[in-house]
Each structure stands twice: as structure tokens, then as C-alpha cells.
Structure 1
């Protein structure tokens, strides 16, 4: 239940975390995660973070600076961590990290990092304003 006491509203959430398991249908002939699948999971995490932040419909406008550092292997758990790091009038800049975890050992490695620009839309599908990012 929401309280309006004091007329202060909490800052919108700026982070989202998604977990996926790398199964054989996500991997190439070398047993590593397809790059396109990694991008899809990262875009999904960016979508969730931006949607929660804006509380509006959002779409991806651009992905940029995606760096594949280490391969993600079949059987690993993948955590996509998305953070809203910048806000324009209707746009949100979302940084996403893809971290692979080896379940038996617990070892975690940052494998991929990227940046996504998401746009908030109104009911007519036009760009609409989002709240300013709190410091």
C-alpha cells in the first residue's frame, strides 16, 4: 500500500537483475553462448530497468559499445545487471553487465558489457517525458 504522508515519493528503481541458464540451444558449436542471445538477454534487462524507472512503455532506440570480453559456456548461469545511468527528456541510458557464474565453484566473471538507449512512449506511441535521475 502506498502512503502519501509527507507528500514525498521514493526515487524510481534504477536497477534490474535477470537470471538465465545457458542451455544447449543457446550455444554455438563450441559450446559457448551465441552473441545474439547475449544481446537479447541484455536488451531484455535494459527494457525491464527502463520500464521500472519510467513506469511507461519503453522501446530500444540503440545499443552501443557492446564488448564481448570472455565466452559464456553452456551450463553456466548468466546474470544480466542493468542500471539506468542517465536520463534525457524521454530517453534513458542503461548500462548492462553480463556476468557468468560457474554453479559448482561459484566463480563469477564479467563477460560482456554494453550500453542501451531506451525511449519512453505515451499511449499514442510518441516519446514522452521521464523523471529526472536523482543524485
Structure 2
């Protein structure tokens, strides 16, 4: 399988409902919760690409362009953006969907770098 095919197959999509227990005092999704969900999607996408142990080593600029209100549905989309020797950069977007309409908009985007490790926690090649 080519790198491009592996990138395509590793795209990861997760849907969540935004409930009050995940919101802040403004009744919008707490930023830390959004970042946790984004890191999880990045981890899954990188693991699906490499099929190896992966750990997050950095998160790059994360842009919060729209607040995510309680009572909406969010879709997180993780896509492998770059493949290095032992690292994978994953771009993650969060889209807001209104529950009772077709309205959809991008709210947050960011990039996460993950590294493949062996059983001794040493970096290994992401492509076997």
C-alpha cells in the first residue's frame, strides 16, 4: 500500500454531542475538553496509519475561531498531514452541527505531532 493510500485509510472521524457537563461558564465547550478530544483523534489517526505505539510529542497552533455551544453536535476530523521518519503530523478540525438544522461550520483547527515508539519507549520508523 502506498503512503497516500495509508493516509486516506487513516482519516478518523468522531462525532460527539456537547452536553452541559463539558461546557464552561459561558455555556460553550471548555477549551481543554476540545484539546483532549483533538489529541485523541490525532492519536487514533496516527495509530491507524502506522499500526504502532504512538505518543503525542507536541501540539502546534490551535485556532479557536468559533465558540461551540451546548446542545450541538461536533465532528472531529483527523487527517495525516506529514509523515517523517519516526513522527507523524496530524491535522485536526472540529466542525459544529446544529442538532435540528443542516447548518455546519468549522470551529477549531490544530496540528499534533506524534512519534512511534518501541517497547523501550525509543523512537522507531513509522513506516514498516
The one-character-per-residue Cα deviations of 1:5-53 (angstroms, maximum 9, x if unpaired) are xxxx463223101111111110011110000000011001000000000
**What is the count of residue pairs matched by the alignment?**
124
> Which structure has the highest helix share of the two?
2
- Structure 2 residue 98 is matched with structure 1 residue 102: yes
Residue segments in structure 1 that go unaligned for 5+ positions in a row: 1-8
User: Per-residue deviation at 1:122?
Assistant: 1.2
In structure 2, C-alpha distance between the alignment counterparts of 1:130 and 1:22, rounded to whole Å = 34
Residue segments in structure 2 that go unaligned for 5+ positions in a row: none
Find the structure with the greater CA-based Rg: 1
Instruction: Kindly report the root-mean-square deviation, in angstroms, between the aligned alpha carbons of the 2 structures.
Output: 1.3
User: Per-residue deviation at 1:106?
Assistant: 2.1
* TM-score normalised to structure 1 length: 0.87
Runs of 4+ off more than 3 Å: none
